[in-house]
Amino acid sequence: MATTETHRFGSFAEFYPYYLSEHQDRTCRRLHFAGSTVALVCLFLLVFTGDLWWLLGAAVSGYAFAWVGHFGFEKNRPATFRHPFYSLMGDWVMYRDIWTGKIPF
């Protein structure tokens, strides 16, 4: 498979298999899942309190957990740097797929 450096993805459906190949390490996936869960809690708190600091908390927690997973365990560079929109979509599709048991946790 071509790397994202040389390959442009025409659709999210084309990107997602690549995204999953960049998340083979179970600890990396678990950190993504934890970061996404914390981000959802922050977004809930944003809605509940109206305090915009929770929006920053959601963004920081989501990316911090994921980047620790990539740099510390997966040993690769997050796709966010090259494909930010598809990568964000991939995070949430993978989150759902973990919840539904389609991807091992």
- Kindly give the confidence (pLDDT) of every residue in the chain, 105 residues in length, as a single tens digit, with 9 standing for 90 and above: 444 455 789 999 999 999 999 999 999 999 999 999 999 999 999 999 999 999 999 999 999 999 999 999 999 999 888 999 999 999 999 999 999 999 999
Domain boundaries, the chain: 23-99
Quote the pLDDT of residue 6. 54
Residues 6+ apart with CB under 8 A from 42: 54, 55, 57, 58, 61
- Whether this model's pTM surpasses 0.85: yes
At 92 the pLDDT is 97
What is the full DSSP assignment across the chain? ---TTT---SSHHHHHHHHHHTT-SHHHHHHHHHHHHHHHHHHHHHHHH--THHHHHHHHHHHHHHHHIIIIII-S--GGGT-HHHHHHHHHHHHHHHHTTSS--
Instruction: Give the whole-angstrom CA distance, residue 34 versus residue 100.
Output: 16
Interatomic CA distance for residues 23 and 18, integer angstroms: 9
The predicted pLDDT at position 8 comes to 84
The pLDDT value recorded for residue 7 is 72
